[in-house]
Amino acid sequence: MYIKFCRSFGEDKKDEAGENLSSKLSVELQEEKGKQTVGNVRLYRAACFFLTAICLVLLVAILVLSMKFQAVSTACSEREETTPADRHGPSPTCSYDDCQALFPNTQSEHVGCQQCAKGWLKFSRSCFYLSTFRLSWDEGQRNCSSRGGSLAVITSHSLQSFLTKKGKLKYWIGLRQNGGTWTWVNNNALQHSYWEEPPENGDCGIINSDSPPETSWMRASCQASTYFICQLQL
């Protein structure tokens, strides 16, 4: 800008001194340009070198990772072929043992290596199945145990709100009254409860997705027919 201004200023004046100044300036300008080009070439070279180095590092990383994943999937598919395991249980594609052998550092977090079967929801160390058909409490419990689990046992507030929110209907849970005391299907005593107010009658427990998680449990006759939630521990 400054140089342009000087040049036009010189032309405008049209005197000798002005013309001298103008030619001198154009020489300086060219030198400047030359210097700039050399600078640019250096910059481009550095950038090129830098980008090539990054490419090489990434290439090595991709190779290492792909080899690792190949090892895992081979181990898992071998296992799948040899043991056509229970389809409803934890995914047969990768057992804890395989996982531990491949990733010894992840010992304490082996949950990350186990999955729930298709159609089951994972929460904490369990898989949950929300039925799409209705049965009585006993039939529901039988159906769950033939899938390798039981009706759901709700032992934490976070699980209670998870199951209330995931469902859309009324589901049997593994809670039943016997001689005035409520017990879970695993024979544990009921600790914290989430009964609706006022409570209905009946000896079996239902979780109702229409209610807030704090008060979503209903009582019903165990012979009634409703949906149910199965739980399978990993």
Ligand X SMILES: *[C@@H]1O[C@H](CO)[C@@H](O)[C@H](O)[C@H]1NC(C)=O
Residues forming the site for ligand X (CB under 6 A): 133, 143, 146-147
The structure tokens 């598919």 sit at 77
User: Taking the complex as a whole, how short is the minimal distance between the CB of residue 196 and ligand X, in angstroms?
Assistant: 28
Angle between helices 2-13 and 16-82 (to 10 degrees): 160
Q: Dihedrals φ, ψ of 95, to 5°?
A: -85, 170
Token output for 168: 């859309």
User: Of 114 and 131, which has the nearer Cβ to ligand X?
Assistant: 131
Q: CA geometry: angle at 159 spanning 153 and 161, to 5°?
A: 120
Choice between 8 and 146, CB closer to ligand X: 146
- Considering the complex, what minimum distance in angstroms separates the CB of residue 225 from ligand X? 11
- Pick the closest to residue 117 from 232, 36, 1 (CA basis): 232
| Least distance between ligand X and beta carbon 133 (Å) | 6
Pairwise CA distance, residues 27 & 42, whole Å: 23
Closest approach, Cβ 119 to ligand X, in A, equals: 12
Peptide bond into 198 cis (omega under 30): yes
Q: Are 90 and 234 in contact (CB under 8 A)?
A: yes
Q: How far apart are CA 91 and CA 85, in angstroms?
A: 9
Nearest residue to 7 via CA among 28, 22, 17: 22
> What's the min distance (Å) between Cβ of 137 and ligand X?
14
CB nearer to ligand X: give 117 or 218. 117
* Nearest to ligand X of 147, 219 (CB atom): 147
The nearer residue to ligand X, 37 or 146, going by C-beta atoms, is 146
Q: Residue with structure tokens 């060219």?
A: 30
Select 172 or 194, whichever has its Cβ closest to ligand X.
Answer: 172
In the complex, what is the shortest distance from the CB of residue 143 to ligand X, in angstroms, rounded to a whole number?
A: 4
